Chains A and B, each alone.
Chain A
């Protein structure tokens, strides 16, 4: 059965710290992996990684995809209190419209 596992489940850091969030997946035929940030509302899209785009960066956030080892990481440098949220990853197999979501990593950044 296809599944996504995120770690850690939760994380507390101080402003300025760098964090690394992990997403491992077991899939039959990988097509894409997505990262979302969810505060007290709906998830907002961060990155999509595919076979042709295994590394993405936007400001202090970056993500890489390791298709061989079946995992992705999301890095946040110089964290700010506004980074506090639940971070979700989801993948999609080829030949399907469905995304499979992990349960998320809850990040809390203290001032």
Chain B
């Protein structure tokens, strides 16, 4: 079975802090994704990576950056956290081609 793990289930940070969210997949998937999920807005794509060191902006990249130095790991970085970044963050991975995405358990981030 595909396993996607995220570094924290719950995280509380203060405004202005730098926040790192880590995602690791163990199935040698090429593509990895970061979403945020908010009530009434559904899942929105922040960034995705189609290969190591390759990344593309999604629909809401402002305030975020990403890093993919190794194939199995995709990091989301909030350079200076703000209260409007309080959300559920979901990581996903996909083998490539026309295959389905698999999601990690999510990180619920609260920015005070």
A48 to B102 alpha-carbon distance, docked (Å):
12
Can you show 9 pairs from A to B with CB atoms below 8 A apart? A42-B103, A43-B103, A48-B98, A90-B43, A97-B50, A99-B33, A99-B45, A101-B43, A103-B40
A101 to B100 alpha-carbon distance, docked (Å):
13
A interface residue count range (under 10 / 10 to 19 / 20 to 34 / 35 or more): 20 to 34
Report if A73 contacts B (CB, 8 A).
no
Interface residues of A (CB under 8 A from B): 31-32, 34, 36, 41-45, 48, 50, 88, 90, 92, 97-99, 101-104
A44 to B90 alpha-carbon distance, docked (Å):
12
Given contacts A98-B48, A101-B43, A32 and B105 within 8 Å (CB-CB): no
- Main secondary structure on chain A at its contact with chain B? strand
Closest residue to B98 on the A side, CB-wise?
Answer: A32
- A-B pairs, 3 with minimum CB distance: A103-B42, A42-B103, A101-B43
A41 to B42 alpha-carbon distance, docked (Å):
14
B42 near A102 with CB under 8 A, answer yes
Given contacts A42-B105, A98-B58, A34 and B98 within 8 Å (CB-CB): no
A42 to B9 alpha-carbon distance, docked (Å):
11
Chain A hits for B45, CB < 8 A: 98-99
